[in-house]
Structure 1
Amino acid sequence: MTEQYLEIHKANIFDKGFTVIPSVFSEEEIEKITETIQNADTSGGNFRKSDDLFAVRQFLKEIPEVKELVFNDTVKTIVRVLFGEKYVAVKSIYFDKPETSNWYVAYHQDLTISVDKKLDMQGFGPWTTKKNQFAVQPPLPILENICTIRIHLDDTDENNGALKVVPGSHAKGIYRPETIDWNTETEEICNVEKGGIMIMKPLTLHGSNRTTDGRRRRVIHIEFSDLELPQELQWSERMN
């Protein structure tokens, strides 16, 4: 995977707010990742289990054995070339929507970051707290700085809940979904094959339709930034 090839994807992220890169992980690498997740102790509070969803918050902290598998040489190169030399992981989630799950996710932007404490700070808010984990909407420049990698452990297309996005919406600040003008905006479905990744800016409007063919969808979601937060505030999941 050459830097010249990656520059094309870097341009896609700048222009459209997302890109899809195939074959980042081999079949063997995907098997090792899924085995590591299956063998993890899921009794902690960051593991959510229901008939519709299995999810892990603070994924890289909860299952540290998976880090060296997720950050293979290709991913390290992608982060360096597409994002920058100083970008580090600041948030991670794993979710598994099983065959019986039929969730619909409306269009939205990812507007919060995970931090270590709640502080009264200008430009930060509203705040939410779940199980002693703090999330807050930060000032716009922090959101604009973040890049997200979504690692697909299964083939994902329009029939099993692939993300749909509004190209270019990442460049329009806080964009309320109810104000989308479909006379001027377009929708694109982001099909990703098993072992591929989707990269997106959190401000890109995105959602997903219900599954229609009963196929499983497992995704690892990792957010990256190279910013230090102000005052004593810290990223709750920051890791190099």
Structure 2
Amino acid sequence: MDDAMFHKARITGQGFSVVKSVYTNMEVDAVLQIIGQADTSKDTFRRSDDLFAIRQFLKELPGVLPVLLNDRLKELISSLFGENYFIVKSIYFDKPPGSNWYVAYHQDLTISVDQRSDIPGFGPWTVKQNQFAVQPPLSVLENNFTIRIHLDDTTEENGALKVIPGSHMKGIYRPETIDWVTEREVSCAVPKEGIMIMKPLLLHSSGRTTNNKKRRVVHIEFSATELPEGLRWSERINL
């Protein structure tokens, strides 16, 4: 595994880093096999010509947990962030060959909680597939991180994330205010079996597929923040 100090510096300064060979080919195949056997009729499953997604992925398919939370990933999280983090959200994305689905530049500004509770500093609120999402205080987002586990080789041609390095340090950064004279865009290619680690406030986007190749990714968000009374993480899983 690549040097942890290098990745820690990259995440702190740039807002992201790519780590190769966190998983084996057998582990990737095992995850895909479990996904292939899933009951896709539930509300948390979304399927269209451009995208197949599973919200609350680890709750819907708990059999993937021992594979995804392998010793290499746990060791990396511990060395980069410490021992106090836990999982708070998970989504599986399958961008099929020929997909025209894309996502414009944005920050990940909401967290998933079990119910709505009007608490100062938390809002606005939204609901998707019976899951409550709320924008928390900035300090919560600054403390969180996301790991994207790549089950296919991902390049700019099949929807690898494009990011604006350092944008995670600028608070709420509205996409329409991006100054392209001073900002630069980076495409984050990630090989199969590797991961991308990123901060939720990092501005990121994803383009359409142009090379007719799949892009399957497991997106997992982590936090070390205990929410105030009246709110609970809807997908909390301790490591």
* 1:146-199, Cα deviation, whole Å (9 max, x unpaired): 100000000000111100000000000000011111111111000000000000
What residue number does 1:30 align with? 28
For 1:59, give the aligned amino acid: F
The yes-or-no answer on 1:40 pairing with 2:38 is yes
For 1:160, give the aligned amino acid: N
| Cα distance in 2 between the residues matched to 1:91 and 1:84 | 19
Retained in 1: the 8 A contact 2:98–2:211?
A: no
For 2:205, give the aligned amino acid: G
Q: What is the root-mean-square deviation of aligned Cα atoms in Å?
A: 0.9
Structure 2: unaligned runs, 5 residues or longer: none
- Correspondent of 1:160 among 158, 161, 164: 158
The yes-or-no answer on 1:68 pairing with 2:45 is no
- Correspondent of 1:12 among 10, 13, 16: 10
Identity %: 64
For 1:118, give the aligned amino acid: R
| Cα distance in 2 between the residues matched to 1:46 and 1:9 | 33
What residue number does 2:220 align with? 222
After TM superposition, what 4+ stretches of structure 1 lie above 4 angstroms from structure 2? none
The TM-score, its normalising length taken from structure 2, stands at 0.97
2:72 is paired with a residue whose SS is helix
Structure 1: unaligned runs, 5 residues or longer: none
For 1:198, give the aligned amino acid: M
Which stretch of the first structure deviates more once superposed, 67-76 or 35-44? Answer: 35-44
What residue number does 1:203 align with? 201
1:159 is paired with a residue whose SS is helix
What residue number does 2:181 align with? 183
Retained in 1: the 8 A contact 2:161–2:204?
A: yes
- Correspondent of 1:80 among 71, 78, 86: 78
Superposed displacement of residue 131, structure 1: 3.0
Superposed displacement of residue 200, structure 1: 0.2
What residue number does 1:55 align with? 53
| Cα distance in 2 between the residues matched to 1:187 and 1:30 | 29
Superposed displacement of residue 130, structure 1: 2.2
The yes-or-no answer on 1:95 pairing with 2:93 is yes
Which stretch of the first structure deviates more once superposed, 127-136 or 190-199? Answer: 127-136
